[in-house]
Structure 1
Amino acid sequence: MRPTVVKLGGSLIEHGALAQLLAIAERHSAVVAPGGGRFADAVREAQARLGFSDAAAHRMAILAMEQVSHLLLDRAPGFSACASRADFEASSGRPALWLPRRMASSAPLPASWDVTSDSLALWLAGALGARKLVLVKAAEAPATSVPAEWARAGLVDGHFPRLAEAFAGEIVCVGRASPEALAEAISAPFGVAA
C-alpha cells in the first residue's frame, strides 16, 4: 500500500486548526512529516550570531524537526513514531509520524538552507514510494501546481523542484491550513487536483 505523506509546516504548531489537521491525517492513515517551526528559526538566528557552518545548521534544523515531531506525538498519540524504514514497514496502513533525525541526516541532499523540511518531506515521500505528498501551509495556496514557481514565490525551498522532477507520485499544496482542503487533497484520486 502506497502511503500519503502530509507535511505540516512548523508554523502550524501554533495554529488553531492543528488538532483538526492531525485528526484528518490520522483518519486517513497518513504519514505526517513535520516542519521545524520556531525551533528551526532559532537555528537560523543562532547561525547568524555565532557563524557556524551550513552543514552544522542543517543537522541542527533536522533536530528542530524532531522536536516538533515529539510535540505532535504528544498532541496526537494515535500515531506510530517512525524513525526508520523498518518502523514505517511495521506501521504500514496505520497513521505514522516521522522522527526525521536518523533518516534525514543520512539523506543524499545538500546540507544547506536550500534544503528545508519541505524537501526532506518530499525525499521521505520518494523513499517510502508514497502515492502523494500534501504540503499544508499557513499561507495562501499557490495558483499554480508547478513546484519551480512555488520555489520562486518562496513557498518551498530552492532544492524542492529538483526532487519534484524525480518523484513518481503527486504533489499537492493546501493553503491557509484548511482542514477541509487537506481532507479533499488526501481523498482525491491520483491526478485530480484538490
Structure 2
Amino acid sequence: MWVVKLGGSLNLDPALPDWLELIAAQGGGRVILVPGGGGFADEVRRHQRHWGHDDLAAHNMAVLAMCQSGLMLQALLATRHPALGRVLRPVRGEAELRPVLCQGQVAVWLPFELLREQPEPPLTGWDSSADTLALRLALRLHAERLVLVKSCAVPLPPLDLDALSAAGVLDRAFPQAARGAPFPIELISRHEPERLRAGLCGLLA
C-alpha cells in the first residue's frame, strides 16, 4: 500500500485531471490519496493573519481545507471521467482505509479525525503541513512507500530532507518525523507523472 500526497498547489493546475486519472487507473487497491489544503488552506492563513486567532483554530480549519480538497478531487474526476471517478472513494476515518483498498478502489483520506479540542504540538501548528500528516499516516499504516507530488522542481534521491525543509519544499516538522522511516520517501514534480506510473506498475525498485 502506498500513500500518495497530492500537493494542494495543484488544485488549480491544468495537470490536475491527468494526475487524478493516473492515480485512479493505476492505484486501485493500492493507493491512499492524501489531499493538500491548497487555496483553501491559504485562506485559513490569510484569515489568521487578519484576525490573529490561535493556531488550534487554524489547525482545525486547515484540516477541513484538506477535506474540501479531497471532496473536490473526487468530484472533478467523476465529472470528467465517471468510470474512473467511481474508483476514488472519500474516506473519513483511518479504520475505513484498508477496506476501501480491498474493494479495489483508491481511498481519498478526509482527515476529520485530526480535528482537536486542545493544542497538541507539533500537530496543531503550522510546522506540520499535509506533508507531515501524510507521513504520519504512512507510518501508522505501515505503508510500503510515501510519495509527495509537488508543483515545484524536486531533486532526485538521495533526498536531503533538512535542506528541502529549509527551502520550504517540505514543512519544518517533516525531517524529524521522517527519521528512521521504514519505507522510501519520494518527491515527484508535477511534470513527472511517468515516475509515479512506473512505480505503480512495478518498474521502480
* TM-score of the two chains, using structure 1 as the length reference: 0.88
Letter in 2 for 1:105: L
Where does residue 145 of structure 1 map in the other structure?
159
Where does residue 125 of structure 1 map in the other structure?
138
1:99-138 deviation per Cα after TM superposition (whole angstroms, max 9, x unaligned): 1121x33688431110011111111111221110110001
Letter in 1 for 2:150: K
Query: Residue 86 of structure 1: CA displacement?
Result: 2.3
Answer yes or no: is 1:91 the counterpart of 2:100. yes
Q: How many percent of aligned residue pairs carry the same amino acid?
A: 35
Letter in 1 for 2:27: H
Letter in 2 for 1:4: W
* 8 Å contact from structure 2 (residues 150, 189) kept in 1: yes
1:11-64 deviation per Cα after TM superposition (whole angstroms, max 9, x unaligned): 111111111211221222211100000000000000000000111111111110
Where does residue 8 of structure 1 map in the other structure?
6
Find the residue that maps to 1:92 and give its secondary structure: helix
Query: Residue 161 of structure 1: CA displacement?
Result: 0.7
Distance (whole Å) between structure 1 residues aligned to residue 13 and residue 64 of structure 2: 21
* 8 Å contact from structure 2 (residues 148, 186) kept in 1: yes
Assess, with a 3 A threshold, how the Cα gap between structure 1 residues 147 and 112 changes in structure 2: closer, same or farther: same
Distance (whole Å) between structure 1 residues aligned to residue 154 and residue 39 of structure 2: 22
Answer yes or no: is 1:183 the counterpart of 2:183. no
Distance (whole Å) between structure 1 residues aligned to residue 98 and residue 190 of structure 2: 32
For residues 38-187 of structure 1, the aligned pairs below 5 Å read 38-76=39-77, 77=85, 78-93=87-102, 94-102=105-113, 104-105=114-115, 109-143=122-156, 144-187=158-201
Find the residue that maps to 1:111 and give its secondary structure: coil
Higher radius of gyration, 1 or 2: 2
Distance (whole Å) between structure 1 residues aligned to residue 90 and residue 22 of structure 2: 17
Distance (whole Å) between structure 1 residues aligned to residue 38 and residue 173 of structure 2: 19
Aligned length: 188
* TM-score of the two chains, using structure 2 as the length reference: 0.84
Assess, with a 3 A threshold, how the Cα gap between structure 1 residues 170 and 105 changes in structure 2: closer, same or farther: farther
1:131-179 deviation per Cα after TM superposition (whole angstroms, max 9, x unaligned): 1011000100124512222111110100001111142211000013422
Distance (whole Å) between structure 1 residues aligned to residue 4 and residue 165 of structure 2: 19
Listed as ranges, the gaps of 5+ residues in structure 1 are none
Query: Residue 90 of structure 1: CA displacement?
Result: 1.4
Listed as ranges, the gaps of 5+ residues in structure 2 are 78-84
State which of 19, 22, 25 in structure 2 corresponds to 1:24. Answer: 22
Query: Residue 69 of structure 1: CA displacement?
Result: 0.6
